[in-house]
Amino acid sequence: MTVPPTPDIVELFPTPSAPLAPEELLSLYSPDRATPRLRVNFVQSVDGSATVDGLSGGLGGPADKVVFNILRGVADVVLVGAGTARAEGYGALTVDERFHGWREALRMPVHPAMALVSGRLDLDPASDLFAKAPRRPLVFTSKAAPPDARRRLAPVADVVDAGDERVDPALVVRELHERGLTQILCEGGPSFFGDLIAADLVDELCLTLSPVLEGGAGPRIARAGGATSGAGGSTGAPVVPRHLALAGLLQSDSLLLSRWTRAAA
């Protein structure tokens, strides 16, 4: 696989290393495809904010972008809340051509599928996210979603009910698995991540720690309830801590890229 130069990224844990080659980075993040996995990817400031001026882009750096691209490159599907897709300006989901051969060798489609979660279906069917998508996107909603919005999206996406009054994250994951999309990469947002945590569906968290003090105005990477509710309110799910184990830690200048997996019972 031919790849452009990457910033120096070294491994700190579990095995300290010299700067990693692109193929070594790819190997670190390549999943065991025999085991279904729901990965979540976020970046946050050192004082705990998921955004700067409302967007996550101000927190990342070249190394974070490298890992972001790898995570997409090895995924079957990218799953994201509609609010995050709008705020971050998502376009058509494609991966860099350097991943095409790797994916084709594993008999994977050249590009991962795009899946959105929206209780109200307030999405623009004319946006590039739909109009230029190389694969027909999936949109998960509830049976209570507005019928007119459902009709607008039907020509450009598969609209899938995953709950009655609100979207059930467990039904979303089950539907993706039934479609053969078992390597799931979730890119947020915080409310949807909170719902996934409450449902105990998170297998792995890739968290980049940015050397930035944001000042306390931005949101956390996860918050309780709301993303999958038809009315936007709290789900009322109890707070249950989910314990993780550090699986890997990389460094690029002052940026830290961590990977956390489910802790052993």
Query: For the CA atoms of the chain, what is the radius of gyration?
Result: 18
More confident residue, 7 or 5: 7
Cβ density class 217-249: b for 16+ within 10 Å, e for less = ebeebbbbbbbbbbeeeebeeeeeeeebeebbb
The runs of H, that is alpha helices, within the chain are 22-29, 62-73, 82-87, 100-105, 128-131, 147-153, 169-178, 190-198
Q: How confident is the model at residue 224 (pLDDT cuts 50, 70, 90)?
A: confident
pLDDT at residue 234 is higher than 60: no
* Residues present in the chain in total: 265
More confidently predicted of 232 and 262: 262
**How many Å apart are CA 103 and CA 186, to the nearest integer?**
19
The answer on pLDDT for 4 being more than 60 is no
Confidence of residue 238 (pLDDT cuts 50, 70, 90): low
**Whole-structure pTM value:** 0.93
Alpha-carbon distance values, 110 to 113, 177, 179, 184 (Å): 10, 19, 16, 16
The runs of H, that is alpha helices, within 46-146 are 62-73, 82-87, 100-105, 128-131
Does residue 253 register a pLDDT over 90? yes
Query: Does 252 score more than 60 pLDDT?
Result: yes
Compute the distance between CA of residue 110 and CA of residue 73 in angstroms, rounded to an integer. 9
| Whole-angstrom distance, CA of residue 243 vs CA of residue 241 | 6
Specify which residues 81 forms β-bridges with.
117
C-alpha distance from residue 256 to each of 63, 206, 243 (Å)? 9, 11, 20
φ, ψ for residue 45 (rounded to 5)?
-75, 165
Angle between helices 62-73 and 22-29 (to 10 degrees): 60
Q: In 10 A of CB 96, how many CB atoms?
A: 12
Report whether pLDDT(233) > 50.
Answer: no
What are the structural domains, with CATH classification, of the chain? Answer: 37-45+58-228+242-262 (3.40.430.10)
pLDDT tens figures, 22-80: 999 999 999 999 999 999 999 999 999 999 988 888 899 999 999 999 999 999 999 99
pLDDT in tens, 164-202: 999 999 999 999 999 999 999 999 999 999 999 999 999
Beta bridge partners of 158: 138
Phi, psi of 198 (to 5 degrees): -60, -35
Q: What is the pLDDT of residues 120-164, one digit of tens each?
A: 999 999 999 999 999 999 999 999 999 999 999 999 999 999 999
